[in-house]
Every structure is written in structure tokens, then in C-alpha cells.
A and B are shown apart, each in its own frame.
Chain A
Amino acid sequence: MLEAQGLSFSIAGFSLLRDIDLRVEPGKVTAIIGPNGAGKTSLLRLLTGEQRPTAGNIALSGQPLGDWSPTQLASVMAVLPQSSRLDFPFTAREVVMMGRIPHATGLVRDTAIVDAALAAVDGSYLDKRFYTHMSGGEKQRVQLARVLAQIWEPVADHARVLILDEPTSSFDLAHQQLTIANMRSFAAQGVGVLVVIHDLNMAARCADQLLVLSCGRIAACGSPQQVLTAMTIKQVFNVDVSIGINPLTGTPLVIA
């Protein structure tokens, strides 16, 4: 389990995050929503160990994040940043194979995992194609397959964590659904999934727990039913909405 307590973060005296408590529980999908500039990406940078919080603690499986060696951490925590630039003509297979760098499972096992990860994002046909020649959505799928491959199987029963920053921003409807299915299936294996997402209805569909960030603070936290109310959305996004029920999934449906 990834657990943060009392996180605060400021840069040059400017406070970006204040008093954040957060638990990414194994087997659950936690989604962070909030307006632009609310501190969502900053929060991810703290939780992945890329930046140190000004105050507060982060622990993974009970051990402070700073005590994990880089390779150890990489073998159980995979992070997909918002956008990745890669100007070199690697094939999709080579990019996904990089996800196996933290592991020493051998080429045969790694190849099987890369095949499965590419298939999971509907990218098997991209296998030998060059990354530099792909569309935006295809690139994003290959990057997603790379992070899935990174934590494809458990390492010595350690809890695994998957962190995704807006993974569906350039996906069509079918691939959005596929990504939700992937997050759910990783959660079903006991992986703790944390995702930053802009589309409130997507968040309602994929998450067990929603966390609303506003101006660097937690404005609301709980199940989608508890959090996605007309009042909260008015407070945080300053938009009038009405809330219905998605007839297919039974989750809240935000109608703006």
C-alpha cells in the first residue's frame, strides 16, 4: 500500500500542496480529479519519489519511500507521465521491452510479457512499427504497455503500484474503455492503481475512490457516489451540473 500523510509542498515560498492524506490501497483504483493547476501532477511527483515533500511522509509497504533503492522501487511501482517525447526510431516492442529493465527475468519471460502487454493495449499490430511513425494515440498506448509490462507480475509478494497521469487524453472511445478495463484487471490482481483523470464520468466509471484536489488541498474524498455531487462540482469547478445515473454501470453521470 502506498500511503501519504500530511504532505505539503512548496516551491520558492509558493505553496502548491497542503496537508494531503492519501492511501492507494491494493486492489483498488483511486482517481484524482480537479481543475487545472490544482496540484495533481505535483502530487504524483511526490508520490513517485521524484520530488521530496516540504513536509509529511510517504511510505510504500510500510517503508519510507526514501529507503527504497531506485531499482527496487522500479520493480514494484510503474509510472506513466502525461506525455513522453521519443525522437529515436525504436520499434513498439523495443519501447515496451524497456519496461523490463528493472527486472532480471530473462529474455524468454520478458518477451512473453511484452507480447501480453502489447495485446492488452490493442497494440499487437504495432509490434515492429517505429515509434517515430505512430499516431499520438498509438504512442500513448505503447507507453501504457511499457508501464504495464514493468509491473506485469508480482516481485516477491511486494505490493505493486500503478500510477497513470491522464492515460486516456489522446484515446478514442474504444481505447478509453480498454484502458479502464486494464486498470480494473490490474486492480483485480491486487495492484494499487492511482490515476489522474480529467473526464469526471470516466473517473466515476473506473474508480473505487475519488479524490478531489482544489488549490492544493483535498476538497473531497470518497466513493464516486459520495464525491460527485452537484454541490462539490460547483464549489471546485464553478460549473453548474446535474447528476444522473449511468444506466449501463450504475455509477454517477455528470451532465454539464
Chain B
Amino acid sequence: MHRLPPRAFMVVALVLLVLAVLLGLLVGPVQIAPVKLLTLWSADQDMDGRVLELIRLPRVLLAALVGACLASCGAVMQGLFRNPLADPSLIGVSSGASVGASCVIFFGGFGFLGSGLGLPAIAIGAFLGGMAATAVVYRLATSVTGTSVSTMLLAGIAITALAGAVTSLFSFFADNEMLRRISLWQMGNLDSASWHRVMVIAAVVIPLVLVLPREGRALNAMLLGESEARHLGIGVEQLKRRLIVLTALGVGVAVAVSGVVAFVGLIVPHLVRLLIGPDHRYLIPGSALLGAVLLLLADTGARTLMSPAELPTGVITALLGAPFFVALLLRQRRDLVS
């Protein structure tokens, strides 16, 4: 394995991000000429200009932010669980978050949600649900010697099943409008992108992506083992609590604005680790960049593959992610045997 220097990787990823943003802006059911980009926020817009400003740009930003958020949270979770197979959607955090979100929608009532407070309230519900799920899985799966993959995944299955039951229960009692909103959370989707949503997630993701790499060194030490990290002077309990809160916040908000988009948090940190190594000081920002690129491309695909109909973005990431996950599982099993 040959590694890239982290800086070179960041530059390449940034260039890819710019290209993916441009692609996402210009390609879709309506092809838009690149010149129209110049009419953004100007007074004399034609139809294409308005499509760009009101539909494409918020959607592209939302995809990039959600991708960055899920990928960096995935990288942190894998460090926290000391296991490269942890992913918010596989271990039940996303499901926990979606239960939290459905609770708010159901008990909050629709009138309240029509106001501007609706989305932040859903995000808080999702955050609390996600945090409860992370804490439960962590308690169940982590021991002195590390995290058992099987326990972690089984706990994920249990939480996902429970979350499914609760969500179904809500769906049973919900009226039509609520039903539509709740079903959105089971299928990751970016089609309700709006500037309002972009603001909500940007307010969380941008600080998160700046704060998380600061824990990089401590997370590296955590990979050696909890007691090893403690002997290196890391306040392990505080670190774990902080990381559980931060990742639940990230995943919760991502779920609140886009539903459960699976596997981004698994695939991206893996690719980045292969390219530049497991040092979290670079892995977290690198994952954020590449996560934004990946989800942008997946979303552009979702909008164009069956055009003019639109696939849910979560379907595309799951189609890419599930085989990837199986390949990783097989490889890990082979490593254990040899």
C-alpha cells in the first residue's frame, strides 16, 4: 500500500468537490448552460437562472453538507468504536434519530411544524434519538478488549427493528400529511432541499467539521485501547462522552434534513484511510471533503438516471454501499482466519 501525502489528497479532493458542485448545478432534468451561473442572485434571471438559484443550488449544498457530515461522523464513530465497520446507519444511530424525528412530527402536530421552528425542533428530536441509540450500542458492544463487531451490528439490528416498530406505530395513527413526512425519514432523500434546510444543517456541520479534527490525536490514541489511551494522558471518559454527543448531533441533523442516507459514513472513511492512512487529524477533514463529493455525485445520479422521475438518494448510496460492506466483512473474516 502506498499512501498519498495528506495535503496533496486534500487539494485533489477540493478540486473534485468543485467539479462535483458544478456538475450537480448544471446537470438534471433541465440541462443548464454554464453561462447561467453568472446570473445567480442577479435581477435579470430567466427560467434557468431561477431553477439554479431556488432548486439546484440549495440541493447541491444540502447534498455536500449532508455528505460531509455523515462521512466525518462515520470516521469518528469508527475511531470511537475502535472498529472500521461502524457506520451511523448500520449500528442504529440513524434509526434512533429517525424515531426522535418522528416523535417530534407526531406529537408536535402539524400546525407547529408549519412554522419556522419545525425543522430545528425535528433536528433536536433526531439528535436526542441518535444519542440514545449511540449510547446504548456503545454500552452493549464495547469491552476492555475493543468492540465486538457482531454485538455492535446485532445491537444495530435491534435498534433498527425497534425504531421501525415505533415509526410504523406513528404511521398507523398519523394523518396524510404526517404520513408523507414520516415516510421521508425511512428513505434518505434530498428532494425537499430548501435554503431553510441548508441553513439548519450548515449551522451544525460547519462547526462540527472544524471541531472534530481537534480530537484527532486523542482518537488515534483511543485506537490503541482505552487503558492505553488513559496511560497516554487522555481523559477517555470525557472524550467518549464528547464524541458521542457530537456525532449524534451531526447524524441527528443530517437525518432531520435528509432522512436516513445509508453507508456514506462507512464507504468514505474507508477510501480515505486507504489513500492517506488512519491518522484522524487528516482522516476526518479528508472524509468530510470526499463525503461531500460522493453524496453530490450520488444525488446527481439520483436526479438524472431515471429522469424526469427521481430516485431517492438513499437508494443510490445503499446500492453502492451494501456490496462494499459485504466485501469489507469478507476481508475482515479472511484476516481473522489467516
Contact = CB atoms under 8 A, between A and B. Distances in A.
A70 B230 contact: yes
Interface in A118-167: 130, 132, 150
Contacts of A48: 231
Contacts of B7: none
B228 A84 contact: yes
A114 B225 CA distance: 20
Interface stretch (B31-39, B111-119, B216-224): B216-224
Contacts of A98: 220-221, 224, 232
A192 interface: no
A75 interface: yes
A99 interface: yes
Contacts of A10: none
Contacts of A180: none
| Chain B contact patch, size range | 20 to 34
A84 B234 contact: no
Contact of A102 (B225, B227, B232): B232
A130 B1 contact: yes
Nearest to A102: B233
Contacts of A70: 230, 233-235
Interface stretch (A17-25, A87-95, A181-189, A240-248): A87-95
Interface stretch (B132-140, B241-249, B273-281): B273-281
A86 B223 contact: yes
A2 interface: no
B312 interface: no
Contacts of A74: 231-233
Contact of B234 (A78, A85, A101): A101
A100 B234 CA distance: 12
| Chain A contact patch, size range | 20 to 34
B84 interface: yes
Given A48-B231, A50-B227, A90-B277, A101 B221 contact: yes
A74 B229 CA distance: 10
A116 interface: no
A77 interface: yes
B231 A88 contact: no
B134 to A, nearest CB: 20
Interface of A: 48, 50, 70-75, 77-79, 81, 84-91, 94-95, 98-99, 101-102, 130, 132, 150
17 contacts: A70-B230, A70-B235, A74-B231, A79-B231, A84-B224, A85-B146, A85-B225, A87-B223, A88-B278, A89-B273, A90-B279, A91-B277, A98-B224, A98-B232, A99-B232, A101-B217, A102-B233
Given A72-B233, A79-B231, A88-B84, 13 more contacts: A50-B231, A70-B230, A70-B235, A79-B228, A84-B228, A85-B225, A86-B224, A87-B83, A88-B273, A89-B273, A89-B278, A98-B220, A101-B217
